[in-house]
Amino acid sequence: MPRTAPPSAAPPAAAAVKPLSAPQKALRKLGLVRPIDLALHLPLRYEDETRLTHLAQAREGEVVQIEGTVTACEVALRPKRQLLVTLDDGSAICTLRFFSFYPSHQKALSVGARIRARGELRGGLWGWSMVHPSFRSAQGELPDALTPVYPSSAGLPQAYLRRAVLAGLQRADLSDTIPPEALQACPGLCSRGGGRPWSLREALHFLHQPTPDVPLAALEDRSHPAWQRLKAEELLAQQLSQHLARRERSTLSAPALCAQPGGLHEQLLAALPFVLTAAQRRVADEIARDLARTVPMHRLLQGDVGSGKTVVAALAAAVAIDAGWQCALMAPTEILAEQHFGKLVGWLTPLLAPRGKTVAWLTGGQTKKARAAMLHAIASGEAALVVGTHAVIQEQVRFHRLALALIDEQHRFGVAQRLALRAKMQDAGWEPHLLMMSATPIPRTLAMSYYADLDVSTIDELPPGRTPIVTKLLADSRRDELIARLRAQVAQGRQVYWVCPLIEESEALDLRNATATHAELSAALQGLCHADGSPARVGLLHSRMPAADKKAVMAQFASGAMAVLVSTTVIEVGVDVPTASVMVIEHAERFGLSQLHQLRGRVGRGTAASVCVLLYAPNEQGRLSDSARDRLRAMVETNDGFEIARRDLDIRGPGEFLGARQSGAPLLRFADLATDTHLLEWARAWAPRLLDQSPELAHKHMDRWLGGKSDYLKA
């Protein structure tokens, strides 16, 4: 770990007396504190103010800088209040229009002033004009470098930021932290004369003040070698810190857990109503190998919805329990904990009983008494399995001997919560093994970058006998038609999920509420009977219902006694009712892609052919947004979770993907995983070598790029 102060360290005593100005505060908020932070704050784009264009030679639509004398300055009221300034550059006249302006504008642009204005030239009946050009008084020489435009925030003018960045650039230590042999091996850095790679100092000076002869395109698409150098630096910092986290973890100890012949693990396998798929066997072996070591496991188990992650988790739990340890299972919500782990608990409970062991549930809604009993069973070690929500990591929970923690839907948990879970054991002098599960497969580039400190096991095969789900798009205007068809489907004994986005009428969003839909479907299915003569029932499930009611509704649906389940997105993850074969998602255009895929994964779990209907409601102009269209199209085109994840990454970028991990974790600012894979591969290959060969430089590099932020990567 870099042991230097984080970037927000207190300023020296003298500075503390003086309150920060608004722009200083804004700088701090952007994390621009140390000179190096400023030096690494790179332009978004550039403006060319090095040249003047004569209006007589200009072309319509060009962005140009002109210089001239103001010959008129007046406020017009029609067709809209605006400031109209006439500028004469000696070759022609141009009207500058400002729709928002202050008295200071009028003063600076008063008749007789010589100014430079920069903007897009428009032609027209009345000659040239520019709308809201940038302008300044025409004093001094033209700049000889392109003018950088920096990412900024409210209260931080570009001019102030430019000065601050240049000052940072002068003061920061810019010495290279990447050894020459590593740079030589990096693709794309060596276009400079003689094949010498760009140094950090050269690259930074160049990017902050590029000369006007540089093709703007190479700067703006960031393919220029100076940009490549910066991106390589950034990716290397990320890889170094993750390698370091991995190394530090490898110095900690965890209990070695081995499956015993004839033990719980084998008993569980024998009791299962199915045989494992090859993919399940493979990942179960990977996990078993980790558990048998004294280095704490730090593994992500990923697999598409329905791929059968739960049984793999149960096998790991069996090994830990068999060895006399405790296992904790966490899911983000109560209903998910129940739905997802219900099966696992059902498998293990009968096997635990003969050993005098129990299962403890910890949930928010428990009575004090029930909770106290659970806490006691956990502390005494009688509870071999502890299942619940965040309640599992609360202060009062004391484990007897926790050896394995399983976290479902890991992206929904915050870093702090994962750290707290691990801390549960550290006072005992060991770390728990950690297995995180996710139904949102992480695209390869993300796994290589943000998740480089995790080992990943992938279930890439669905259990046999599943028929692929057919996905259909349907405009909301054809809702009645859909309901009529559902009636026929239900009459044939099919079970239907109907997912609504909101439970209360919200005028602003105009979403249909689940309660109204429930009433509507109940009416539509009136008089319909199942084969056994019992009436086809429509149930309602939403997040504000008491836990016991939710449970009762789910139980009825799971038993087949209920034909249609109208629900808000509480069913998103973890619900397992293999007989359900129709999924209707209302306002599908409002859901994220991975959420849609998760919801769709609730059907297609049994042998019946399943359908997923995506009802969408275009806006008043009859249109869907581009990204909504992309999401719906992706759903129709593929059922493959990896392909969905890849497209989701394209549509939303990595920030959303990383979920809770993103908060506080430094996202890549410059590198783009879609285009910079070559640099990522390079950083991945060199990070461990640099940590071995030049640890001091490696630490300096991390400190420069990550400051105090690298702690987050360890969770």
**Interface positions with Mg ion (CB under 5 A):** 340
User: If you search the block for the tokens 């070591």, which residue do you land on?
Assistant: 293
Strand runs labelled E in 476-610: 495-499, 538-541, 564-567, 580-585
- Tell me which DSSP letter residue 321 carries: H
Pick 89 or 572: Cβ nearer Mg ion: 572
Q: Token pair for residue 583?
A: 């999924």
Using the minimum distance from each CB to Mg ion, give the nearer residue, 510 or 640.
640
The least CB distance from residue 558 to ligand ADP, in Å, is 11
DSSP 536: P
Residue position matching structure tokens 């940590």: 691
> For the window 426-445, what string marks contact with ligand ADP as x by the rule CB under 6 A?
-------------x------
Applying CB under 6 A, among 73, 83, 311, 565 the residue interacting with ligand ADP is 311
Residue of closest CB approach to ligand ADP: 308
CB 315 to Mg ion: min, Å: 14
10 Å Cβ neighbour count for 489? 16
> Angle 106-110-112 (CA atoms, 0-180°, nearest 5)?
165
> Residue 292 CB, nearest distance to Mg ion (Å)?
25
Of 105 and 466, which CB lies nearer to ligand ADP in the complex structure? Answer: 466
DSSP 288: H
CB under 6 A: which stretch of 101-109, 305-313, 326-334, 619-627 binds ligand ADP?
A: 305-313
Strands (E), 90-131: 93-98, 114-120, 128-131
- Beta partners for 328? 386, 405
Q: Using the rule CB under 6 A, is 641 a contact of ligand ADP? A: no
Q: How far is the CB of 462 from ligand ADP (least distance, A)?
A: 8
The DSSP H or E segment spanning 64 is strand 63-76
Candidate list 308, 332, 641, 707; residue touching ligand ADP; CB under 6 A: 308
Closer of 307 and 639 to Mg ion (Cβ): 307
The bridge status of strand 298-303 relative to strand 114-120 is unpaired
Residue whose C-alpha is closest to residue 148's, from 137, 164, 135, 133:
164
Residue in 567, 574, 595 with CA at minimum distance from that of residue 659? 595
Does 605 participate in binding ligand ADP (rule CB under 6 A)?
Answer: yes
Stretch that binds ligand ADP, among 35-43, 58-66, 274-282, 399-407 (CB under 6 A): 274-282
Which is nearer to ligand ADP, 11 or 659 (by Cβ)? 659
Which among 243, 237, 227, 164 is positioned nearest to 191, based on CA atoms?
Answer: 227
CB 303 within 8 A of CB 458: yes
576 binds, among Mg ion, ligand ADP, none (CB under 5 to 8 A by kind): ligand ADP
Shortest Å, Cβ 608 to ligand ADP: 14
Within 10 A of 182 (CB to CB), how many other CB atoms are there? 22
| Nearest distance in Å: CB 550, Mg ion | 18
Per CB under 6 A, the segment of 269-277, 398-406, 423-431, 545-553 that binds ligand ADP is: 269-277
By C-beta, is 340 or 684 nearer to Mg ion?
340
In the structure encoding, which two tokens stand for residue 492, read together?
A: 């044939």
CB 317, CB 344: distance < 8 Å: yes
The least distance separating ligand ADP from the CB of residue 306, rounded to whole angstroms, comes to: 5
Nearest to 387 by CA among 322, 329, 469, 313: 329
Build a one-symbol-per-residue string for 564-593: x at contacts with ligand ADP by CB under 6 A, - elsewhere: ------------x-x---------------
Q: Note whether 214 and 191 are within 8 A (CB).
A: no
| 682/494 Cα distance (integer angstroms) | 53
- Kindly state whether residue 463 participates in binding ligand ADP, applying the rule CB under 6 A: yes
Q: Which CB atom, from 565 or from 691, has the smaller least distance to ligand ADP?
A: 565
Closest approach, Cβ 576 to Mg ion, in A, equals 8
| Cis check: omega of the bond before 79, within 30 degrees of 0 | yes
Mapped onto helix, strand or coil, the DSSP state of residue 346 is helix
Residue 125 dihedral angles phi and psi, to the nearest 5°: -55, -35
Of 21-29, 112-120, 273-281, 612-620, the window that binds ligand ADP (rule: CB under 6 A) is 273-281
- Of 86, 277, 438, 495, the one binding ligand ADP (CB under 6 A) is 277
Q: Pick the closer one to ligand ADP by CB: 487 or 605.
A: 605
* Secondary structure E strands in 132-262: 134-137, 147-149
Q: Which stretch binds ligand ADP (CB under 6 A): 28-36, 85-93, 127-135, 298-306?
A: 298-306
Q: Residue 264 or 459: which CB sits closer to ligand ADP? A: 459
**In angstroms, what is the minimal distance from the CB of 585 to ligand ADP?**
18
**What percent helix, strand, coil does the chain show, rounded to 5?**
45, 15, 40
Residue type, 22: A
Burial (CB < 10 A; 0-12, 13-18, 19+), residue 10, is: exposed
CB of 574 to Mg ion, least distance (A): 6
Can you tell me which of 305, 317, 320, 562 binds ligand ADP, judged by CB under 6 A? 305
Q: Which one among 306, 388, 641, 707 touches ligand ADP, defined by CB under 6 A?
A: 306
Q: How far is the CB of 342 from Mg ion (least distance, A)?
A: 11
Least distance CB 192 / ligand ADP (angstroms): 51
Among 147, 310, 363, 568, which residue sits at the site for ligand ADP (rule: CB under 6 A)? 310
Query: CA 37 to CA 168: how far, in whole Å?
Result: 8
Which stretches of the chain bind ligand ADP, using CB under 6 A?
A: 274, 276-277, 280, 303, 305-311, 439, 463, 576, 578, 605
